[in-house]
Structure 1
Amino acid sequence: MRQKLHIFITALLLFSTVFAFLDVTSAYANKSVVVATDVLNVRTTPDTNGAIISKVLRGETYPVVESQGEWVKIQVTSSKAGWVASYLVKESSNGGGSTAPSTGGESFVQILTDDLRVRTGPGTNFSVIGFVHTSSVNVRYLDENENWVKISGDGVEGWVAKEFVSITAKKTETTVDEEKQQVATILTDDLNIRSEASTQGEVLGTLSTGQQVMVTASSGEWLKINYQGMDGWIHKDYATLNQDQAGSAPTATEAIIKVAGLNVRSEPSLNGSVLKQLAEGSKVKIINERNNWCEIEMDDGQKGWIAGWFLEKSGQSSQEIPSNTEGTIVIVDDATNIRSAPSTTANVVLRANKGEEFEIAGVEDNWYKIKLSDGSDAFVAGWIVTTKGSTNKISRAGAEQYLANKVIVIDPGHGGRDVGAIGASGTYEKELTLRTSQLLHDKLRAAGAKVHMTRQADTSVPLHTRPQMANYYQADAFISVHYDSLDDSSVTGTTTYYYSNSDESLAESVHSALTQYIHLRDRGYRQENYLVLRESMRPSLLLELGYISNRGEEMTIKSGDFQERASTAIYQGLAQYFKEN
């Protein structure tokens, strides 16, 4: 009898182990992660001593095979899997279902309201660059955060309020007309050529910086190319496109830089990496134009992209410059001032309402000269309206001019097993800090800052490694985001902490913006000996953005409106600090 009982118990333990393994395996069967750093090493073992077997790039998505501590194992190809640090990836927003993306799949956005403003960044503090409407078709989904969606359509690329759109999936592959073939110039070394328009596609070969290949089709963020007689796919973020005119080189137009220290970027957007800076008065050759950005060739033969509105083209008459009557301005806000001269001190001759359009007669400084209904001339500030037609948009630099190229490390407090403070109704601090940090991340990136996060998902990150990231990246600012809690539930308000005397001005700037935007009790800014501040060798702050132990304040903090205002406040506070320092 004892022998039978022993056999039964052994069998039970064996089955329990098997089922436990199946449970762990199934937990990852429908999970995938997105690479959240520029280049991420994939290793043979879950530690930094493991041999590097592959490298994956920011934005690529991979299925998760298993997890161990602060490491996750991802399936890189059908035959290769390896380990990556969990705090350098974030969980895919696709949720459950198959981890393999649909080949050629692409997401589109349905616009739910007319005259939806498209902005340069995710926030109302970013300038309006255009509009989309319910009639807009083929508006592509590019990215999103809590309150905003990045789109591309109707000739404009930017951010729109999430509540006014619906995201749908659609498959599409657009073949390039043979008479209008395009040539892609590669921007990075070891760019993978894949068998399909997906990071799951088999790697057929690699390309190097400067190589040129013919583009035969496109699908979403991917380009189909022909290279050495082989068809394959590359991601468009790592190439620039030039129209191929029967093998001839594009006609170059000379231009002069109108501002000091103009950044030359790797791609036609503020997200492009800075290749170099050009001094005011420098002459450049424009070889390509896209969405008000100009691809230029410099004296040393190097190519890059610069913002077209900071250029003065030479060799053109005033009638040829796209700031003439070939377009109209569109009023963005009600009661917009139309003035008698190009100055904010000039007399107001008309107050125009949202949606009104006026013919452009010319440009003076940063003002549009327009024709009124009676045929008279008037002026409107270029940075407060948008345009239709071929006229270049005017943009007056705002906070983004002080944030561009700054290195910011954002530290969403707690994470993983460490939930942080627990709110009066059960809210976890770790979830709130990540929400705020992700919004701040997108705003800073849109302004051209180089942003790193200590964690991108609900993962555990050792406390001492957080300030080390700021030191490693030589951050211009390190911001640790937190929410507070006390046994006394009546306590409310926001507090800003710093450690070094040299960081007091940073604390003052950010805290001043917080009190202005989030409307909570001002508990001041003060010195404190916190480890994440003490161990950082870079300008650092720890922000306690409110007390979730107070039920009313917890409800406020959880709202999307508060998250938007808090992230905007930090953004503006950083801009003010860099402006003054």
Structure 2
Amino acid sequence: SVTGGLPISGALDVVIDPGHGGDEPGAVGPNGLKESTVNLRVAELLRAELMDRGYSVELTRYSDHRVTIQSRAELANALAPRVFMSIHHNGGFPEPFPVAGTEVFVQLGDPESSRLGGIVFEEIQSAFADVEADWMGNVETFGVAWRQNDEGTDLYGVLRRTPDLVSILTEAMFITTAAEADLLAMPDILETEAIALADSLDRWFDTDDLGSGFVDGVVFEGDLGNGGGTEGCIDPPL
């Protein structure tokens, strides 16, 4: 049973999923900044911005605690929003890059997921175009793409487990690089990202824009995690 809180009535426009949380921090920057902290702050800012624009919005977590992928997806499916957006910030070992190395992951075979991903890519790139930084990125994965597992379904659990929703997963900047981790510690940069995501949703809801930045998808062999269930409670590395 559920105690406390208020019932949610009416159809939701957007559910925002701040990736990781609690003792699953995701990537960690050289400055000690946790991806889970940044994900939540951007999600909070995005929710506030969207609500100011008249959208109905909920988050999958409102504090720094672990939520399994299964639980995130079950919540999103139960709320049945028009859009499910999972917010992450990238990790790994990228190379020097001329622009922010944005990556957006979309659902296999879903044109509306792809369209939203392409719009998000454009808006994030535009938002950071005037920011001076030692940007990093991966030439092969820069852009918008699907990721498929060896069973022929979406690799990432939040996309695979929400097949009836328009779902995407965003990766703006590389928190594991010093310059970008320092940027992500700045409130105005997080606000810039949140506004770019809000503008993306405006375009997706109100236009037929197709977006851009599409690259070839990748089929992965094996498993990146435990599938998002409650056993182990570990997200795939992002």
TM-score (norm 1): 0.30
Alignment-mate amino acid for residue 41 of structure 1: V
Match of 1:525 in 2: 144
Deviations 1:374-408 (A, max 9, x none): xxxxxxxxxxxxxxxxxxxxxxxxxxxxxxx7521
Tell me the equivalent position of 1:441.
Answer: 47
Deviation per CA, 1:355-392: give whole Å up to 9, x if none: xxxxxxxxxxxxxxxxxxxxxxxxxxxxxxxxxxxxxx
State the SS of the aligned residue for 1:433.
Answer: helix
Q: Percent identity?
A: 27
Matched, 1:550 2:158: no
Q: Deviations over 1:445-474 (max 9, x none)?
A: 112211111100001101111122221111
Q: Map 1:214-253; keep pairs closer than 5 Å.
A: none
CA distance in 2, matches of 1:544, 1:56: 31
Q: Distance in 2 between matches of 1:441 and 1:415?
A: 18
Q: Is the 8 A contact 2:12 2:79 kept in 1?
A: no
Q: Match of 1:372? A: none
Deviation at 1:510, TM superposition (A): 1.4
2 CA distance for matches of 1:461 and 1:545? 21
Report what 1:577 is aligned to: 204
Q: Does 1:511 align with 2:91?
A: no
Match of 2:195 among 554, 561, 568: 568
Match of 2:76 in 1: 470
Aligned ranges 1:125-524 → 2 under 5 Å:
407-488=13-94, 490=96, 493-502=101-110, 503-519=113-129, 523-524=142-143
Larger Rg: 1
1:534 aligned partner, one-letter code = R
1:41 aligns with 2:2: yes
Q: Mark the runs of 5 or more structure 2 residues left unpaired by the alignment.
A: 130-134, 148-154, 209-238
Per the alignment, in what secondary structure is the counterpart of residue 50 of structure 2? Answer: helix
- 2:88 aligns to what SS in structure 1? strand
Return 5+ residue gaps in structure 1 as ranges: 1-39, 43-54, 59-272, 275-404
> Which amino acid counterpart does residue 78 of structure 2 have in structure 1?
Y
Q: Deviations over 1:316-366 (max 9, x none)?
A: xxxxxxxxxxxxxxxxxxxxxxxxxxxxxxxxxxxxxxxxxxxxxxxxxxx
- Shift of the 511–406 alpha-carbon distance from structure 1 to 2, 3 Å rule, reads farther
Question: CA offset at residue 501 of structure 1?
Answer: 2.5
Aligned to 1:538: 165
* Partner residue in 1 for 2:218: none
Taking structure 2 as the reference length, the TM-score comes to 0.72
User: In the comparison of the two structures, how many residue pairs are matched?
Assistant: 186
Change (3 A) 1:515 1:406: farther
Which residue identity is paired with 1:554? Answer: A
3-state SS, counterpart of residue 69 of structure 2: coil
Counterpart of 1:421 in 2: which secondary structure? Answer: coil
Q: d(CA) in 1 for partners of 2:55 and 2:136?
A: 30
More strand per residue = 1
Q: State the shift of 1:487 in Å.
A: 3.7
CA distance in 2, matches of 1:521, 1:580: 31
Larger % of helix: which?
2
AA of the residue aligned to 2:13: V
Partner AA of 2:89 in structure 1: Y
Tell me the secondary structure at the aligned position of residue 501 of structure 1.
coil
Give CA-to-partner distance per residue, 1:85-128, whole Å, 9 cap, x none: xxxxxxxxxxxxxxxxxxxxxxxxxxxxxxxxxxxxxxxxxxxx
- Structure 1 residue 508: deviation in Å? 1.0
Q: Displacement, 1:489?
A: 6.9
Provide the alpha-carbon RMSD of the alignment.
2.2
In 2, the alpha carbon distance for the partners of 1:512 and 1:551 equals: 24
Q: Is the 8 A contact 2:12 2:80 kept in 1?
A: no
- Match of 1:464, SS state, is helix
Name the SS for the 1:437 alignment partner.
helix
Cα distance 1:551–1:469, how it changes in 2: closer, same or farther (>3 A)? same
